[in-house]
């Protein structure tokens, strides 16, 4: 298949994606019930007060990296929690605050039992007596499926561990691990100063494992099929497949499951290919990076994206049509960042507010050279200066926008004109309403 | 051997700016009055000054971190 693109992108042939693992057997309206699930997956080992290091070694052999955004080696995190004093806690992070991401919701809606198996397995691995699953309370379908799955289990086989499901506030940083932990401790869903990190002192002050729900479900796959099977997909350093939400100007926006290292263009092809001439792709999510369309052959992996200053993040590919202004789209995202600040750190509160205002001027073709310099300087200066990495996301996206949309920028600066048709492409939600 | 770097707790910091006055070799303020601290290891001859800045932060937001 050939991809029509805004600039010169070579014609590519893409292979179809291998069969799903995490979403095997799922169709748009399906809910995989316990009876069906247990035909493939045996009951996970019951958690006890003692860690099971063999399970941790298994995840180490599989080379599993976290799917929540940072790509941290799962076995290392499991070990850090297991080595802490008991009782320990497991938190399943299903908050999915990244607006263009739907993969965790999709996973929980269709295959909730795999997530629960993974959470129970993680509790057995670290020796935890309690499991808390956090799902954004606005993600109704996912929450209902998880609730139904839990009811199915408690009425039949039991869970073997104290496991609770909680609807979390719809705020971006509520999914940041310290924010989620503070909320579970009865406070606002705002990040806290580190150290201590949750693995040292988390829920109720206990060593706490915070793991993304896709990571947990993948742990259940690895426990069932083994590390060699897992490594049949992906790359030696980044094994396995992962869920990616592909949207924007594509045939059929969808969540796909692809081997890590699949070219970005192949991910777009998997959902029907480009639906328009494209000018750029956003990878990783709002907490991500703009890439030019001539980067469509780049493997979607940490190693592949690193040379471009990008990373896979939460598993998002968003195709921007050439009819949109990338600067205007970015301005709307930066304003979302400002609105989602937890209001705790000066550079995040004031820096994001001012950056958002000035970048909007750039997007509206009303900025001068000095303003542009200020935007660049602020983007550099807010980075790394919050308690959490929230401001860093805005800084990175802005920097990539100024590079990838440099032609647009020149036009904005020299003629005061914008070629965008004014129709917004990115769906940017309004700021959340509550921190509890 | 342990060496020292300066760290700000950005939640605790309210932008008094005293640290930048007391230790301007190492700390400057951004456009909103919050400290930007050099990330490098503090040289021995500036360590006393760093400690002085830490001791005088009214928000107790500045600290010396031991790194190996
Ligand atoms: C601003 C911010 C927002 C985050 N939002 C989420 C989220 O919605 N879901 C998630 O799983 N991780 C999120 N994370 C990452 C978590 O802090 C944590 O690293 C992750 O849940 C760990 O899971 P993993 O190791 O399985 O990837 C966020 C991080 C930051 C800095
Ligand atoms: S950096 Fe921003 S979002 Fe993160 S803790 Fe500080 S104020 Fe909150």
Q: What is the pLDDT of residue A420?
A: 79
A123-157 per-residue burial string, b: 16 or more CB within 10 A, e: under 16 = bbbbbbbbbbbbbbeebeebbebbeebbebbeeee
- CA-nearest of A34, A59, A205, A182 to A124 is A59
Q: How remote is the CA of residue A171 from the centroid of ligand 2, in Å?
A: 12
pLDDT in tens, B11-64: 999 999 999 999 999 999 999 999 999 999 999 999 999 999 999 999 999 999
Q: How remote is the CA of residue B42 from the centroid of ligand 1, in Å?
A: 33
In angstroms, how far is the first alpha carbon of chain A from the final one? 48
**What residue's CA is closest to ligand 1, atom 3?**
A176
Q: Are residues A330 and A224 in the same domain?
A: no
pLDDT confidence bin for B68, thresholds 50/70/90: low
Q: What is the pLDDT of residue A240?
A: 98
Number of domains comprising chain A: 2
Task: Kindly indicate whether the domain formed by B7-67 is annotated with CATH number 3.90.600.10.
Answer: no
Query: How far apart (Å, rounded) are the C-alpha atoms in residues A177 and A29?
Result: 31
Q: What is the pLDDT of residue A4?
A: 34
pLDDT in tens, A353-400: 999 999 999 999 999 999 999 999 999 999 999 999 999 999 999 999
Q: How remote is the CA of residue A388 from the centroid of ligand 2, in Å?
A: 5
Q: Are residues A348 and A215 in the same domain?
A: no
> What angle is formed at CA A300 by the lines to CA A308 and CA A135, rounded to 5 degrees?
110
- For the residues A399-411, what does the mean pLDDT come to? 95
Q: Are residues A89 and A221 in the same domain?
A: yes
A385 and B33 in contact by Cβ < 8 A?
Answer: no
| A335 part of a folded domain | yes
**What residue's CA is closest to ligand 1, atom 20?**
A68
pLDDT in tens, A71-104: 999 999 999 999 999 999 999 999 999 999 999 9
Q: What is the pLDDT of residue A1?
A: 30
Q: Are residues A72 and A177 in the same domain?
A: yes
A348 CB neighbours in chain B (<8 A) are 10
Nearest atom, ligand 1, residue A96 CA: 8
Q: What is the pLDDT of residue A180?
A: 98
Q: What is the pLDDT of residue A415?
A: 87
Query: How far apart (Å, rounded) are the C-alpha atoms in residues B43 and B55?
Result: 18
Instruction: Output the CA–CA distances (angstroms, integers) from residue B67 to A119, A196, A207, A419, in the order listed.
Output: 35, 16, 23, 51
Chain A contact for B9, CB < 8 A?
yes
Chain A contact for B58, CB < 8 A?
no
Residue B33's closest chain A neighbor by CA?
A: A346
Q: Are residues A224 and A344 in the same domain?
A: no
pLDDT in tens, A275-327: 999 999 999 999 999 999 999 999 999 999 999 999 999 999 999 999 999 99
Residues 6+ away with beta carbon under 8 Å from A233: A18, A21, A239, A240, A241, A259, A260
Q: Are residues A336 and A195 in the same domain?
A: no
Q: Is A72 in the pocket of ligand 1 (CB under 6 A)?
A: yes
- Give the residue from B29, B30, B67 with the most A CB atoms within 10 Å of its CB, the best one to mutate: B30
A385 and B34 in contact by Cβ < 8 A?
Answer: yes
Closest Cβ–Cβ partner in B13, B32, B36 for A350: B32
Q: What is the pLDDT of residue A421?
A: 76
| A279 part of a folded domain | no
The ligand with the least distance to the CA atom of B11 is 2
Q: What is the pLDDT of residue A27?
A: 80
Instruction: Output the CA–CA distances (angstroms, integers) from residue A420 to A72, A100, A220, A251, A329, in the order listed.
Output: 38, 21, 46, 21, 10
Give the position of tokens 């292979």: A15
Top-confidence range, A42-56, A258-272, B2-16: A258-272
Give the position of tokens 């609105």: A339
ipTM of the complex, rounded to two decimals: 0.95
Structural domain boundaries enclosing A185: 19-230
Q: Which A-chain residues 71-110 have CB contacts (< 8 A) with chain B?
A: none
- For the residues A235-260, what does the mean pLDDT come to? 97
- For the residues A221-240, what does the mean pLDDT come to? 98
Nearest atom, ligand 1, residue A66 CA: 27
Over chain A, what is the mean pLDDT? 94
**What residue's CA is closest to ligand 2, atom 1?**
A386
Query: How far apart (Å, rounded) are the C-alpha atoms in residues A109 and A144?
Result: 8
A355 CB neighbours in chain B (<8 A) are none
- CA-nearest of A119, A108, A183 to A147 is A108
Chain A contact for B32, CB < 8 A?
yes
| A315 part of a folded domain | no
Q: Which A-chain residues 118-177 have CB contacts (< 8 A) with chain B?
A: none
Q: Over 50: is that where the pLDDT of A3 sits? A: no
**Collapsed DSSP state (helix, strand, coil) of residue A321:** strand
pLDDT in tens, A119-155: 999 999 999 999 999 999 999 999 999 999 999 999 9
| A430 part of a folded domain | no
Residue B61's closest chain A neighbor by CA?
A: A193
Q: What is the pLDDT of residue A5?
A: 34
* A26-30, A51-55, A100-104, A141-145: least confident range: A26-30
Top-confidence range, A22-26, A46-50, A373-377: A373-377
| A360 part of a folded domain | yes
Chain B contact for A387, CB < 8 A?
yes
* Structural domain ending residue among the three candidates A176, A198, A230: A230
Chain A contact for B30, CB < 8 A?
yes
| A428 part of a folded domain | no
* Structural domain ending residue among the three candidates A212, A230, A248: A230
Instruction: Indicate which CATH number applies to the domain containing A390.
Output: 1.20.1440.230
- If one residue of A97, A192, A341 were mutated to test the ligand 2 pocket, choosing by the most ligand atoms within 8 A of its CB, it would be A341
Nearest atom, ligand 2, residue A173 CA: 3
Query: How far apart (Å, rounded) are the C-alpha atoms in residues A350 and A361?
Result: 17
Q: How remote is the CA of residue A3 from the centroid of ligand 1, in Å?
A: 33
| A270 part of a folded domain | no
Shortest Cα distance from A200 to chain B (angstroms)? 18
pTM (whole model) above 0.90: yes
Q: Over 70: is that where the pLDDT of A208 sits? A: yes
């Amino acid at each position: 298949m050939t991809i029509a693109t805004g600039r010169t992108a070579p014609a590519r042939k893409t292979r179809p994606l291998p069969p799903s693992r995490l979403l095997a057997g799922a169709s748009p309206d399906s809910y995989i019930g316990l009876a069906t699930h247990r035909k493939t997956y045996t009951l996970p080992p019951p958690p006890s007060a003692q860690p099971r290091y063999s399970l941790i070694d298994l995840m180490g052999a599989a080379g599993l990296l976290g799917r929540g955004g940072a790509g941290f080696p799962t076995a290392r995190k499991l070990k850090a929690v297991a080595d802490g004093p008991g009782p320990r806690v497991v938190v399943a992070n299903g908050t999915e605050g990244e607006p263009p991401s739907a993969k965790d919701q999709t996973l929980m809606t269709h295959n909730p039992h795999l997530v629960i198996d993974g959470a129970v397995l993680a509790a057995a691995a670290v020796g935890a007596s309690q499991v808390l699953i956090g799902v954004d309370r606005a993600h109704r379908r996912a929450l209902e499926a998880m609730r139904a799955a839990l009811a199915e289990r408690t009425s039949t086989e039991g869970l073997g561990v104290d496991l609770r499901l909680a609807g979390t506030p719809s705020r971006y940083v509520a999914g940041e691990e310290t924010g989620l932990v503070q909320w579970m401790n009865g406070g606002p869903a705002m990040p806290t100063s580190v150290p201590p990190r949750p693995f040292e002192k988390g829920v109720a002050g206990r060593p706490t494992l915070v793991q993304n729900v896709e990571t947990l479900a993948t742990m259940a796959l690895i426990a069932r099929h083994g590390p060699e099977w897992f490594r049949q997909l992906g790359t030696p350093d980044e094994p396995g497949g992962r869920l990616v939400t592909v949207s924007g100007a594509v045939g059929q926006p969808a969540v796909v499951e692809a081997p890590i290292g699949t070219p970005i263009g192949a991910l777009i092809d998997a959902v029907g290919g480009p639906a328009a001439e494209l000018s750029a792709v956003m990878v990783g999510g709002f907490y991500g990076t703009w890439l030019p369309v001539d980067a469509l052959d780049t493997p979607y992996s940490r190693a592949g994206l690193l040379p471009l200053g990008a990373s896979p993040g939460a598993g998002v590919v968003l195709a921007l049509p050439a009819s949109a202004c990338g600067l205007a789209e970015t301005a709307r995202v930066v304003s979302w960042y400002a609105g989602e600040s937890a209001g705790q750190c000066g550079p995040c509160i004031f820096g994001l507010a001012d950056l958002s205002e000035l970048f909007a001027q750039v997007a509206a073709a009303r900025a001068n050279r000095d303003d542009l310099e200020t935007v660049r300087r602020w983007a550099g200066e807010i980075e790394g200066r919050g308690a959490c990495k929230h401001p860093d996301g805005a800084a990175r996206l802005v920097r990539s926008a100024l590079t990838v949309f440099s032609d647009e920028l020149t036009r904005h600066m020299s003629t005061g004109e914008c070629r965008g048709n004014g129709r917004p492409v990115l769906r940017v939600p309004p700021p959340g309403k509550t921190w509890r | 051997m342990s060496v020292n770097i300066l760290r700000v707790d950005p939640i605790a910091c309210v932008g008094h700016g005293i640290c930048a006055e007391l230790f301007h070799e190492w700390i400057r303020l951004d456009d909103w009055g919050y400290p930007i601290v050099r990330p490098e290891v503090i040289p021995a001859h500036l360590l006393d000054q760093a400690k002085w800045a830490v001791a005088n932060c009214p928000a107790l937001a500045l600290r010396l971190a031991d790194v190996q």
